């Protein structure tokens, strides 16, 4: 049986970072286990390729939520990246740190050592960017750049936002998040820059790092209150075990980390009994506190401007491909967001509570993203800090069966109010003079939607998550927390969780930056504990 100092379960965003940092001394032996493939493919490096990867079973686990009345009994797509690099292989690349108050609230809620002052150095450590001023990283592994392409219609949107009272903000990851501008993305020289690019590939030649792909961890090995290793199944059906001298670290994400704990008998006795799994360690909070960003997409028919709807067809697409091949420029460098907005639905609020995603493109189904044929534009609207809470739990003892995901979206009245007000402001911005020459008609929800009840019905009927699940192995010091402030699973030795599942509450924006920060800090915590052991 192979034995390592650290066994990392999940080769995604956090796992690649931990594999690099824990093996950097050349002495600590590290195994990184990933159920997917190495993460190489034609579309992986092309930013616009996310539309191909997002629905492909080779790259996406393809989870879906359980139908719930609050979202009109629709199963909602919950994509999770599959392969080395995880969701940084298939996401929209948008990089948002969040607001300082997000992390201060974590610390105040019991996550000691995770205030903004504590975590800011880790953001700086991971970044390599020319954007912004003091406090931004200049030499880290992750290339962060502003979206390079500019279009008259995106400039008109920013001007319209200014006419509505929202300032231009050159760096929403700097001193203040409020305002509008162009998104920052994880790209380098026109190509997607995943954590596999930034962290894992530079470490692959280390003899003390063993990276294994197409191995599915089916359960954890527990012996007398300690996690001593993992059981895994290879693609050919054979099984084996790996042992960990120091720690097993779960980095399988907010869907699969709680699933693996429950498959191993760690969780609520009632949930485990229903799935036919014996209780090894009772821990009621596993799988609870599920939070995700829920977004609506407002669409307009456009005139007087060329949009992606026409530019990605026929000869226009051929020309775009040629330009990208030669220059690494053009529409193939675009992801899910071109221009951003962070706004307050109430002027009395200290910080923004709504995020906008502007794209000069339109589509009927956000989960599929098949572009309309006629010119269009979309403004995605998302509440930054939702209060609705759901759950993720195993439905059976089969490690290959998907868990039951119940997001419980739009159940909190404040979430409903925020999203309604955010959509009203979005419509008001688009009605400003700067946009008048481009807007032919509002398609969704349409001008007939005016009352709160109509706005809410539109949100329930058409909204999707924006793929930011967090919180299902919540960090804290109370009895319902799953991990403590050092990311140790409560009541067990040798087991940690270090991914989006440990977040106590949602951060104000896209979550990949926060996950990278968590992994960087987790590596320091593990190395500190190893030195003091």
Catalytic residue numbers?
A: 468
Buried b (16+ CB within 10 A) or exposed e, 342-351: bbbbeeeeeb
3-state SS track over 244-310: EEEEEEECCHHHHHHHHHHHCCEECHHHHHHHCCCCCEECCCCCCCEECCEEEEEEEEECCCCCHHH
What lies within 8 Å, CB to CB, of 140 at 6+ separation is: 124, 125, 126, 127, 128, 198
Report the 3 state secondary structure along 136-163: CCECCCEEEEECCCCCHHHHHHHHHHHH
Interatomic CA distance for residues 498 and 513, integer angstroms: 14
Beta bridge partners of 145: 185
Contact yes or no for 212/32 (Cβ under 8 A): yes
Radius of gyration of the CA atoms of the chain, in A: 22
- Sign of CA pseudo-dihedral 194, 196, 200, 202: negative
Helix (H, G, I), strand (E, B) or coil at 468: coil
Residues 6+ away with beta carbon under 8 Å from 277 = 262, 263, 265, 394, 397
φ, ψ of residue 255 to 5 degrees: the values are: -90, -50
Q: Which residues contact 116 (CB under 8 A, 6 or more apart)?
A: 100, 101, 102, 103, 104
∠ CA(61), CA(386), CA(482), 5° rounding? Answer: 65
- Sequence length of the chain is 533
Q: How does DSSP classify residue 99? A: -
Q: Prior bond to 445 cis, omega within 30?
A: yes
Give the 3-state secondary structure of residue 462. helix
Give CA–CA dist 137/125, Å, rounded: 6
Give CA 502 to chain center in angstroms. Answer: 13
């Amino acid at each position: 049986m192979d034995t390592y100092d650290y066994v990392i379960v999940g080769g995604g965003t956090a796992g690649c970072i931990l594999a690099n940092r824990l093996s950097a001394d050349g002495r600590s032996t590290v195994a990184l286990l990933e159920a997917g493939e190495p993460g190489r493919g034609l579309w992986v490096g092309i930013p616009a390729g996310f539309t191909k990867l997002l629905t492909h079973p080779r790259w996406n686990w393809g989870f879906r939520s359980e139908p719930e009345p609050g979202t009109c009994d629709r199963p909602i797509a919950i994509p999770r990246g599959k392969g080395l690099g995880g969701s940084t292989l298939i996401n929209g690349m948008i990089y948002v740190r969040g607001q300082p108050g997000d992390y201060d609230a974590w610390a105040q809620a019991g996550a000691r050592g995770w205030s903004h002052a504590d975590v800011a150095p880790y953001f700086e450590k991971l970044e390599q960017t020319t954007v912004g001023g003091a406090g931004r990283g200049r030499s880290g592994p992750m290339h962060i750049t502003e979206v390079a392409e500019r279009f008259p219609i995106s400039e008109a949107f920013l001007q319209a936002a200014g006419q509505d009272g929202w300032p231009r903000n050159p760096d929403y990851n700097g001193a203040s998040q409020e305002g509008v501008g162009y998104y920052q993305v994880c790209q380098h020289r026109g190509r997607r820059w995943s954590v596999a690019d930034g962290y894992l590939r530079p470490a692959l030649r280390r003899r003390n790092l063993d990276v294994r792909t197409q191995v599915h961890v089916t359960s954890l090995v527990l012996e007398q209150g300690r996690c001593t290793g993992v059981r895994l199944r290879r693609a050919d059906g054979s099984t084996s075990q790996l042992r960990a001298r120091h720690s097993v670290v779960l980095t399988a994400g907010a869907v699969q980390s709680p699933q693996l704990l429950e498959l191993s008998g760690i969780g609520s006795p009632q949930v485990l009994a229903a799935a036919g799994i014996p209780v090894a360690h009772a821990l009621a909070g596993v799988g609870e506190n599920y939070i995700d960003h829920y977004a609506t997409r407002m669409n307009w028919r456009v005139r007087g401007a060329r949009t992606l709807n026409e530019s990605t067809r026929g000869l226009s697409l051929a020309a775009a491909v040629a330009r990208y091949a030669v220059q690494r420029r053009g529409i193939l460098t675009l992801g899910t967001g071109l221009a951003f907005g962070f706004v307050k639905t109430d002027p009395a609020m200290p910080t923004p509570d709504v995020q906008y995603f502007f794209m000069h493109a339109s589509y009927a189904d956000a989960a599929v993203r098949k572009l309309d044929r006629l010119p269009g534009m979309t403004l995605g609207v998302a509440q930054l800090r939702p209060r609705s809470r759901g759950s993720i739990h195993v439905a059976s003892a089969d490690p290959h069966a998907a868990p039951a995901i119940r997001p419980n979206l739009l159940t909190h009245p404040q979430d409903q109010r925020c999203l309604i007000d955010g959509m009203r402001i979005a419509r008001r911005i688009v009605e400003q003079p700067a946009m008048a020459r481009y807007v032919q008609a509002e398609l969704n929800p349409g001008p007939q939607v005016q009352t709160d009840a109509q706005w809410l019905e539109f949100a329930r009927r058409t909204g999707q998550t924006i793929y930011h699940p967090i919180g299902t192995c919540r960090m804290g010091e109370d009895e319902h927390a799953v991990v403590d402030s050092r990311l140790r699973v409560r009541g067990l030795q040798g087991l940690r969780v270090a991914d989006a599942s440990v977040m106590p509450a949602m951060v104000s924006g896209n979550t990949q930056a926060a996950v990278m920060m968590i992994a960087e800090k987790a590596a320091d915590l593990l190395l500190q504990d190893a030195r003091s052991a």
